[in-house]
């Protein structure tokens, strides 16, 4: 058992190899990087600069590590069709934009199609999606939108789950038609226009074989596209769990002293307390328990992004959850305005922009914002108006009670510069294998 644990080449690179199988055209050369990484992820056996209490002794890891090697099955026919649709740049008007143009496989399936404003550029110049593009890795774990008690002490139920920053769909299948038809995204004028393109697609034969009758009429075609995309995005290959931190959980890698300090600060109830929302269980060798989100909603009051074209109108605001129109479970009460779904922090260091409005272009700024938003708001709100991306009547919805942003103005921040650096170093360990070579922003 101990021999297996220290065998980095057999265990450490599995997720990346699986991703290479499914996404072989997207990750040209990933075989090489996974080989290099396999060596790097091998537990250090001697000469370590880590103290005993910080390290995971190999023997303990061997005892608790009952995780079998992660076997990602061969893609099913449905997943292969979903993948082909995801990368099909003919499915926009004008052609040229696929799902992967915004959800860029080189950026852990995030990105904004070259836009530098913080929100995604659609298929036509000057047309932008409303928000910053989230990663579509780990979609398998997003629960449907629902209300639940956050913990045993709560008296009021809180919202959780649903797809997008404001939870406006309950499944990938349900959501997928929106970008395809949105005039500011892929801009297919109608379901009929989309059907015409699908009938001409190279995968049309496989598509109608898998979804009998789907190419006969627009509505079943769009439904089948959603099912296929869902099969692809929720496949195991799209939840790789191949980061350095996952290797650490499995007892096969060590964190540096700085990364370890970052983890401790991230978890400390008196410091970052980040894991209250960005959930992590660092002593559990099941990486899927550490998704770095509880899928809950919060109002952080992030600064207004003045580079966003729509924000030239001073009355334009994104109210988040309370704008969600889906009525199966209601969320339109004003108390939910300004709340956005807590994003997973897996692969966060690969992103170009941060927060729902893409206001930050540096990961360090996103973390430093937590540290000093309340103690030194002038750093973040140049206009002098705190929470300037919210209509004044909703500003009281912004969370001012949770650590680390519950400090009073002028007080010392609970996270100092070194804490922020350490958290950033820790967040960089959450990058899955295929993206590890990318220089973080
Ligand atoms: C023009 C850029 C763009 C294109 C093209 C695009 N998306 Fe997105 N995607 C976004 C943005 C922006 C969001 C966030 C939407 C929101 O919060 O309202 C998003 C959100 C998502 C989500 C929800 C993620 C989560 O964490 O809940 C999924 C799933 C998704 N997109 C899948 C797709 C699929 C499938 C396609 C192709 C049919 C696609 N997207 C095409 C920009 C894009
Ligand atoms: C009370 C819940 C909560 C806590 C505590 C919390 N976060 Fe967040 N975090 C969120 C929400 C909600 C967002 C999205 C906010 C938005 O876009 O408006 C977010 C966004 C982020 C982002 C940007 C991710 C992206 O994909 O754009 C980073 C980075 C981040 N948080 C790190 C941290 C760190 C580090 C801590 C601790 C210092 C922390 N968070 C504490 C809820 C929380």
pLDDT, tens digit, 9 for 90 and up, residues 157-193:
999 999 999 999 999 999 999 999 999 999 999 999 9
Ligand 2 atom 11: residue of nearest CA: 342
Instruction: Please report which ligand is nearest the Cα atom of 299.
Output: 2
**Whether pLDDT at 80 is above 70:** yes
Q: What is the mean pLDDT of the chain?
A: 86
Between the CA of 53 and the centroid of ligand 2 the distance, in Å, is 29
**Whether pLDDT at 100 is above 70:** yes
The pair of structure tokens assigned to 211 is 């979804």
Any residues with Cβ below 6 Å from ligand 1, and which? 97, 99, 101-103, 113, 120, 122, 129, 131, 133-134, 136, 139, 142, 163-166, 172, 175-176, 179-180, 185-186, 229, 233
* Ligand 1 atom showing the smallest separation from residue 164 Cα: 27
Domains of the chain: 77-237 (1.10.760.10)
The pLDDT, as a whole number, for residue 67 is 52
Of the candidates 375, 360, 352, the one whose C-alpha atom is nearest the C-alpha of residue 304 is 360
pLDDT digits (tens, 9 = 90+) for 10-53: 222 223 333 333 333 333 333 333 333 333 332 333 333 333 33
Q: CA-CA distance, 219 to 191, in Å (whole number)?
A: 7
Between the CA of 268 and the centroid of ligand 2 the distance, in Å, is 15
Q: What would the DSSP string read from start to end of 353-421?
A: SBSTT--BSSHHHHHHHHHHTTT-GGGT-TTS-TTTTS-GGGGGGS--SSTTS-PPTTSPPSS-HHHHH
pLDDT digits (tens, 9 = 90+) for 323-333: 999 878 889 99
Instruction: Please report which ligand is nearest the Cα atom of 267.
Output: 2
The pLDDT, as a whole number, for residue 328 is 84
Any residues with Cβ below 6 Å from ligand 2, and which? 272-274, 276-278, 298, 300, 302, 340, 342-343, 345, 348, 351, 354-356, 366-367, 370, 399, 402, 404, 423
The pLDDT, as a whole number, for residue 156 is 87
Q: For residues 280-296, give the mean pLDDT.
A: 96
Q: For residues 360-373, give the mean pLDDT.
A: 97
Instruction: Please report which ligand is nearest the Cα atom of 159.
Output: 2
Instruction: Please report which ligand is nearest the Cα atom of 277.
Output: 2
Residue 104: phi, psi to the nearest 5? -75, 120
């Amino acid at each position: 058992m101990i021999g297996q644990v220290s065998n980095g080449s057999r265990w450490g690179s599995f997720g990346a190899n699986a991703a290479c199988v499914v996404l072989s055209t997207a990750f040209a050369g990933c075989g090489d990087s996974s080989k290099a990484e396999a060596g790097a992820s091998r537990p250090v056996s001697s000469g370590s600069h880590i103290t005993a209490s910080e390290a995971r002794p190999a023997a303990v890891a061997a005892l608790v590590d009952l995780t079998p090697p992660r076997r990602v099955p061969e893609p099913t026919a449905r997943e292969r069709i979903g993948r082909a649709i995801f990368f099909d740049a003919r499915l926009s008007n004008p052609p040229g934009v696929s799902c992967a143009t915004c959800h860029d496989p080189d950026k852990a399936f995030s990105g904004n199609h070259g836009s530098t404003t913080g929100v995604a550029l659609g298929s036509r110049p000057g047309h932008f999606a409303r928000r910053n593009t989230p990663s579509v890795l780990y979609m398998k774990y997003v629960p449907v939108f629902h209300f639940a008690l956050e913990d045993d002490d709560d008296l009021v139920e809180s919202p959780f789950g649903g797809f997008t920053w404001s939870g406006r769909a309950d499944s990938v299948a349900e959501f997928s038609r929106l970008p395809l038809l949105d005039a500011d995204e892929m801009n297919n004028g109608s379901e009929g226009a989309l059907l015409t393109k699908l009938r001409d697609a190279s995968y049309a034969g496989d598509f109608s074989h898998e979804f009998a009758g789907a190419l006969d009429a627009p509505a079943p075609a769009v439904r089948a596209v959603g099912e296929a995309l869902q099969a692809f995005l929720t496949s195991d290959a799209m939840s790789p769990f191949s980061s350095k931190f996952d290797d650490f959980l499995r007892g096969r890698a060590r964190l540096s002293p700085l990364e370890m300090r970052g983890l401790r600060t991230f978890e400390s109830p008196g410091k970052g307390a980040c894991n209250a929302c960005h959930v992590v269980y660092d002593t559990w060798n099941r990486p899927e328990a550490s998704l770095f989100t509880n899928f809950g909603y919060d109002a952080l009051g992030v600064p207004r992004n003045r580079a966003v074209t729509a924000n030239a109108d001073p009355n334009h605001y994104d109210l988040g959850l309370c704008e969600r129109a889906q009525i199966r479970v209601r969320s339109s009460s004003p108390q939910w305005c300004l709340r956005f779904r807590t994003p997973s922090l897996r692969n966060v260091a690969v992103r170009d922009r941060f927060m729902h409005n893409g206001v930050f272009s540096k990961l360090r700024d996103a973390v430093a914002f937590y540290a000093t938003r309340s103690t030194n708001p002038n750093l973040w709100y140049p206009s002098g108006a705190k929470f300037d991306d919210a209509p004044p009547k909703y500003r009281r919805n912004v969370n001012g009670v949770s650590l680390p942003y519950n400090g009073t103005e002028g007080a010392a921040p609970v996270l100092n510069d070194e804490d922020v650096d350490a958290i950033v170093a820790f967040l960089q360990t959450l990058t899955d294998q295929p993206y590890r070579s990318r220089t973080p922003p």
